[in-house]
Structure 1
Amino acid sequence: MSGVLGADSRRVAAVDIGTITARLLVADVSAGKITEVERSTDVTHLGEGLVESGVLSAEAMERVEEVIARYAATMIRLGVEEYRCVATSASRDAANSFEFAARLSALGVAPEIVSGYEEARLAFSGALWGIEGDGVLVNDVGGGSTELVWGDSGGTGVAIRHAASIDVGSRRVTETYLHSDPPDALELKRARRWVRERFAPFFSAMPGPPSVSISLAGTATTLAAIDQRLEVYDAERVHGVVLARERLEAITASLASMTLAERRMLPGVHPQRAGVIVGGGLVLDAVLEGAGLDSTIVSEHDILYGIVLDVGARLARAGDGESG
């Protein structure tokens, strides 16, 4: 719910346009404190067919445009002072991404097609908001890419030691390897091998072993919801869940044995995410395998938090400049 802004609070918004979802967070930010005002998530499948065609389809762009028009109205209604909209993997890959960006800008929401490193930085910053620890591995399994960031968080802020955005994601794995319904053993084997090979250089170059893993985004939160046997998705119950790798493997194997129609009926699984959740499970499992960890902490604090922190800090600096 929206509240009354404090004297030093700034109402800001973050928009994340990913390969599978578009998301909005409106929040009041003050001295590093985040108070959520409104949050929306819409499954848009912007990257549908991108692996084969190399372009964003007209239908996919129209789905996102419809959502972004609604987000623009929400930001106006809630009195947002400043926003930042980032477009990630699908927009980076598509040959027609500048056309897509122009179409969204015409709706009043201008997207930045951010680099993989910037996406990783924002995810790391958001995940470690309010957390202190050394050797933390933050992983954000998206539809088209996975951001892996190893670093520290303390009183002076976050320090990234090793980071990469790797073109491995739930939709990319699904469209490249998992063609049968349900996927057959050979498809699953080939997908696992490919994901491991793609992640190997990151883990071999990591300066030290991670102390803990924090997993962000829809793959991790959906698998956590299944693990917790939630009938209806509940972000508060998902946030902070410790998902054991053994349990992750069992859930992924169970999902892989089902048809798409069966997965769509599962409690806790968004019907429009059912088609890519097996691929996502394979990716997340490969992250834990490469890191040598037997569990991960699932977090709802992700790139959206990183974005609103960035926007809030920028406004604070601007205010200091005006008063100086």
Structure 2
Amino acid sequence: MESDQVQSDHFQSSRTRPGRVASAGFGAVGCDSPDHGAVGAAAVGPEPAAEERVLRPGPVFAALDVGTNNCRLLIARPARGGFRVVDAFSRIVRLGEGLSRTDRLSDEAMGRTLSALKVCRSKIRRRGVTALRAVGTEACRRAGNGAEFLERVESETGIHVEIISAGEEARLALAGCAPLLDPALPRAAVFDIGGGSTELMWLELRRGRPYLIDQVSVPLGVVGLTERFGGDRVSPDSYRGMVAEVREALRPFAQRNALAREVARGRVQMLGTSGTVTTLAGIRMGLPRYDRSQVDGTWLSRADATAIAGDLRALDFQGRASQPCIGRDRADLVIAGCAILDGIWETLPVPRLRIADRGVREGILAELAAAARRP
């Protein structure tokens, strides 16, 4: 019987260098957002025949993001100017559950994550992946046993997961969503609300290309805040407390970059990539089921976001779980996400933001595709 373990030397290693942000096009990235537990299986375009999945020649790229809340995989083939997604997987694993109290990954969280990674391993084998980059983010960075857990992952699955810095995480997320930036505006703020941390980047656009001016990572994410403030009925005082923590954590960053002044001049656009903003956008659009193709690239006004967040705070866990763009897996986390978004908006009071249902994985795939095109 063929071994079900991924052989590590089957993959080309991928290491990238910081610098100007890559903004490779995505080709036809046609998958529903895998970040929403209520979605079910992601749609990834036409399914090739079984023999094509295994035998079709040419490079196949994979990007794997082991996050604080989600384990997410994208598999793609090169396409003109970018790549085309052929398979996707996501599972809410809550790897960072309890981390804010113990600074260690729990046995239960590691077990859930390892189970999800074994599914990823099977998909990687079936699709004949030739180049893989797998990264671990805040939970793996912060946990005292994070490196030990990833050694176990490699031993049991053959997948080497690289713990990346907050700066590299932000850079990859930006590389993934940069095509959505408006080249007509000279400044941009791009944020990513994660399970264990929130990243904010301040950019200058030169001839339509984004260059990083400054960035900050604050250890405030939806999982940690939910554990501290609750995820069922959140009182107005608790909600305001979360917003204030985010605002104060971002204050030094805002002051040294004169963000308020730039916003007042009308020179700033804002782009958000996270389950929080895609959820709010899906609710605002009245979607009966989350649909990435409708949400990615759309706009959300601050007024609409504030109204939706208020409606969600009036519901209990069950009420939020019944929302088709939320579901049970995220019903306790969405209020903390709204509070983080409010804190960002108080720091950068632009009237609206653009929604990106893309991020670290797409950034990895864009860079793998670009590397494959180079001689």
**Counterpart residue identity of residue 278, structure 2:** T
User: Match for 1:163 among 195, 202, 215?
Assistant: 215
**Counterpart residue identity of residue 127, structure 1:** C
User: In the TM superposition, what are the counterparts of 1:77-96 in structure 2 within 5 Å?
Assistant: 77-96=126-145
Q: CA deviation at 1:151?
A: 1.5
User: In the TM superposition, what are the counterparts of 1:261-280 in structure 2 within 5 Å?
Assistant: 261-280=318-337
Q: What does residue 226 of structure 1 align with?
A: 283
Q: CA deviation at 1:104?
A: 1.5
Cα RMSD after superposing both structures: 2.3
User: In the TM superposition, what are the counterparts of 1:157-236 in structure 2 within 5 Å?
Assistant: 157-176=209-228, 178-179=229-230, 181-206=232-257, 209=262, 211-236=268-293
Q: What does residue 71 of structure 2 align with?
A: 22
Q: Which moved more, 1:30-39 or 1:80-89?
A: 30-39
Q: What does residue 369 of structure 2 align with?
A: 312
| Cα distance change of structure 1 residues 217 and 179 upon mapping to structure 2, 3 Å threshold | closer
Contact map agreement 1:142 1:169 (CA 8 A) in 2? yes
Q: CA deviation at 1:155?
A: 6.5
For residues 291 and 182 of structure 2, the distance between their equivalents in structure 1, rounded to whole angstroms, comes to 25
| Cα distance change of structure 1 residues 154 and 309 upon mapping to structure 2, 3 Å threshold | farther
Q: CA deviation at 1:227?
A: 1.2
Contact map agreement 1:136 1:152 (CA 8 A) in 2? yes
For residues 14 and 103 of structure 1, the distance between their equivalents in structure 2, rounded to whole angstroms, comes to 20
For residues 132 and 190 of structure 1, the distance between their equivalents in structure 2, rounded to whole angstroms, comes to 34
Are residue 100 (structure 1) and residue 136 (structure 2) matched? Answer: no
Q: Secondary structure at the match of 2:111?
A: helix
| Cα distance change of structure 1 residues 108 and 155 upon mapping to structure 2, 3 Å threshold | farther
Q: What does residue 4 of structure 2 align with?
A: none
Q: Which moved more, 1:60-69 or 1:34-43?
A: 34-43
| Cα distance change of structure 1 residues 122 and 200 upon mapping to structure 2, 3 Å threshold | same
Are residue 118 (structure 1) and residue 189 (structure 2) matched? Answer: no
For residues 28 and 131 of structure 1, the distance between their equivalents in structure 2, rounded to whole angstroms, comes to 24
Q: CA deviation at 1:31?
A: 6.2
1:127-167 residue CA offsets vs partner (Å, 9 max, x unmatched): 11375523121111111111111224566854211112221
**Counterpart residue identity of residue 69, structure 1:** K
For residues 228 and 9 of structure 1, the distance between their equivalents in structure 2, rounded to whole angstroms, comes to 39
Are residue 66 (structure 1) and residue 115 (structure 2) matched? Answer: yes
Q: Percent identity?
A: 30
Contact map agreement 1:32 1:309 (CA 8 A) in 2? no
1:184-210 residue CA offsets vs partner (Å, 9 max, x unmatched): 122112111111111111222226536
Are residue 56 (structure 1) and residue 108 (structure 2) matched? Answer: no
**Counterpart residue identity of residue 175, structure 2:** S
Q: CA deviation at 1:2?
A: 5.3
Q: Which moved more, 1:113-122 or 1:307-316?
A: 307-316
Contact map agreement 2:231 2:331 (CA 8 A) in 1? no
Q: Which moved more, 1:205-214 or 1:282-291?
A: 205-214
The list of structure 1 runs, each at least 4 consecutive aligned residues, that deviate by more than 6 angstroms after superposition, is: none
| Cα distance change of structure 1 residues 27 and 157 upon mapping to structure 2, 3 Å threshold | farther
User: Match for 1:146 among 173, 195, 198?
Assistant: 198
Q: What does residue 338 of structure 2 align with?
A: 281
Q: CA deviation at 1:30?
A: 4.6
User: Unpaired runs of 5+ in structure 1?
Assistant: none
Are residue 11 (structure 1) and residue 60 (structure 2) matched? Answer: yes
For residues 61 and 342 of structure 2, the distance between their equivalents in structure 1, rounded to whole angstroms, comes to 35
1:11-50 residue CA offsets vs partner (Å, 9 max, x unmatched): 2011111111111111123564121111222111111111
| Cα distance change of structure 1 residues 161 and 79 upon mapping to structure 2, 3 Å threshold | same
For residues 154 and 37 of structure 1, the distance between their equivalents in structure 2, rounded to whole angstroms, comes to 33
User: Unpaired runs of 5+ in structure 2?
Assistant: 1-45
Q: Secondary structure at the match of 1:10?
A: coil
**Counterpart residue identity of residue 109, structure 1:** I
Contact map agreement 2:297 2:356 (CA 8 A) in 1? yes
Q: What does residue 358 of structure 2 align with?
A: 301
**Counterpart residue identity of residue 194, structure 1:** E
For residues 115 and 155 of structure 1, the distance between their equivalents in structure 2, rounded to whole angstroms, comes to 29
Report the TM-score when normalising by structure 2. Answer: 0.79
Q: Which moved more, 1:36-45 or 1:23-32?
A: 23-32
**Counterpart residue identity of residue 159, structure 1:** Y
**Counterpart residue identity of residue 40, structure 1:** F
Greater length-normalized contact order (CA 8 Å, ≥ 6 residues apart) = 2
**Counterpart residue identity of residue 279, structure 1:** A
For residues 302 and 180 of structure 2, the distance between their equivalents in structure 1, rounded to whole angstroms, comes to 25
Contact map agreement 1:25 1:40 (CA 8 A) in 2? yes
Contact map agreement 2:231 2:333 (CA 8 A) in 1? no
